[in-house]
């Protein structure tokens, strides 16, 4: 099969790799319908995260089940499925508490599988994959694909930030996750949604997803604007979707005392000062999103056409042109690149 492989920073090649096969009785093999490039793929692409060897990339996926292991009970060949970027058994105590991204038998798809490919072996298939009601029409595929990570992550961020009806939410980060955090906040009933963005096309998408205000400054200046918009108090809920020191401090400082920060940007060189955090009196929650928790609800919203998160894809390429997808996202020419298989 063909798969996208990162050889070195900036060097993505689509090349031949062995077809995946059932290895464990709980595995499924799926044929990908679509996959995509994630903001987090850019960390190794930019050389900020080291890779030791040529690495098959990708962790977002929708597709059709080709084959299942002997112990798989809930899936059959021909089923259309969406899966999380973390494998989970969905039965352990941590999964049952809603934290499937930290399943005791969990593994990151990006570390061991790589779904920017024609096929993928999905371990713990019963726990990881969720079927759609029917094989979806083509126009629903991009939205379903977002559920695999960026929508599920933006949604978790909004839930972690305790977004509530009638409240004010600020969103730090105008990548796909931040934009879908806006969408989630709207769905969860937020009254006012303030998106930080300096890019006109992203501002436009933020507004389409439900942003009521756009703030173009950042850092302390951005925080001051949020305070001004909230009677000096700060937002009730802040979604952080970047993962840098600046973005984390911006999120914490933009939150009112007793408010909530939901942070999902993968932390890179972040160090939180205890005293400032203490006196901020905010709630802080985040981490790798337990997308599996939200998949049934998100699939339902998408197939009922209540939400259209697939709009975050502003570039669509065949898998063979994966390298161009990486380049376009690296250069911020694209918010998110979909790869058709």
26, 56, 101, 128: residue in contact with a copy of itself (rule CB under 8 A): 101
Helices (H), 51-199: 93-96, 109-112, 125-128, 141-147, 150-160, 176-187
Instruction: Name residue, tokens 């998100």.
Output: 298
Contact map string, positions 179 to 198, toward a copy of itself, x by CB under 8 A: --------------------
7, 268, 305, 332: residue in contact with a copy of itself (rule CB under 8 A): 268
Query: Is 53 one of the binding residues for a copy of itself (CB under 8 A)?
Result: no
Q: With CA atoms as reference, report the closest residue to 42 among 242, 200, 201.
A: 242
Q: With CA atoms as reference, report the closest residue to 63 among 154, 7, 1, 6.
A: 1
Q: Binding segment for a copy of itself among 22-30, 192-200, 240-248, 321-329 (CB under 8 A)?
A: 240-248
Q: With CA atoms as reference, report the closest residue to 39 among 266, 207, 239.
A: 266
Query: Is 256 one of the binding residues for a copy of itself (CB under 8 A)?
Result: yes
Q: Binding segment for a copy of itself among 20-28, 129-137, 226-234, 322-330 (CB under 8 A)?
A: 226-234
70, 134, 165, 279: residue in contact with a copy of itself (rule CB under 8 A): 279
Number of residues that bind a copy of itself (CB under 8 A): 41
The residue among 40 and 143 lying less far from a copy of itself, judged by its C-beta, is 40
Rounded Cα–Cα distance for residues 192 and 86 (Å): 32
Query: Is 17 one of the binding residues for a copy of itself (CB under 8 A)?
Result: no
Report how far apart, in Å, the C-alpha atoms of 81 and of each of 46, 61, 148, 156 are: 31, 9, 10, 20
What pairing do the DSSP bridges indicate for beta strands 107-108 and 86-87?
antiparallel
Q: Binding segment for a copy of itself among 112-120, 173-181, 276-284, 295-303 (CB under 8 A)?
A: 276-284
**Count of Cβ atoms closer than 10 Å to residue 166 Cβ:** 9
The residue among 168 and 197 lying less far from a copy of itself, judged by its C-beta, is 168
The residue among 114 and 290 lying less far from a copy of itself, judged by its C-beta, is 290
Rounded Cα–Cα distance for residues 70 and 30 (Å): 15
- Using CB under 8 A, list all residues that contact a copy of itself: 93-94, 97-99, 101-102, 104, 231-233, 243, 245, 248, 256-258, 263, 266-275, 277-288, 290
């Amino acid at each position: 099969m063909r798969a996208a492989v990162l050889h070195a920073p900036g060097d993505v090649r689509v090349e031949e790799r062995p077809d995946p096969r059932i290895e464990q009785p709980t595995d499924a093999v799926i044929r990908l319908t679509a996959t995509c490039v994630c903001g987090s793929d850019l960390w190794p692409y930019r050389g900020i995260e080291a890779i030791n060897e040529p690495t098959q990339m990708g962790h977002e996926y929708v597709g059709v089940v080709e084959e299942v292991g002997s112990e798989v009970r809930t899936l059959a060949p021909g089923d259309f499925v969406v899966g999380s970027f973390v494998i989970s058994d969905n039965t352990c105590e941590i999964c049952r508490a809603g934290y499937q991204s930290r399943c005791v038998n969990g593994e990151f798809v990006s570390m061991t599988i790589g779904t920017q490919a024609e096929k993928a072996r999905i371990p713990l298939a019963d726990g990881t994959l969720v079927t759609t009601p029917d094989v979806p029409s083509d126009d629903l595929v991009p939205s379903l694909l977002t559920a695999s990570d960026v929508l599920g992550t933006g949604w978790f961020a909004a839930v972690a930030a305790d977004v509530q009806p009638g409240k004010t939410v600020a969103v730090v980060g105008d990548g796909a996750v931040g934009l879908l955090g806006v969408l989630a906040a709207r769905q969860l009933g937020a009254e006012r949604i303030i998106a930080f963005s300096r890019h006109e096309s992203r501002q436009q998408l933020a507004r389409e997803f439900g942003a009521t205000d756009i703030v173009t400054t950042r850092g302390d200046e951005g925080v001051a604007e949020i305070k001004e918009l909230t009677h000096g108090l700060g937002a009730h809920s802040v979604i952080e979707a970047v993962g840098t020191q600046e973005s984390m401090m911006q999120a914490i400082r933009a939150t009112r005392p007793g408010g909530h920060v939901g942070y999902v940007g993968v932390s890179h060189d972040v160090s939180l000062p205890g005293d400032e955090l203490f006196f901020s009196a905010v709630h802080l929650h985040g981490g790798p999103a337990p997308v599996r928790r939200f998949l049934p609800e998100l699939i339902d919203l998408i197939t009922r056409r209540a939400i259209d998160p697939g709009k975050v894809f502003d570039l669509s390429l065949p898998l063979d042109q994966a390298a161009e997808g990486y380049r376009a996202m690296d250069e911020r020419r694209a918010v998110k690149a979909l790869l058709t298989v």
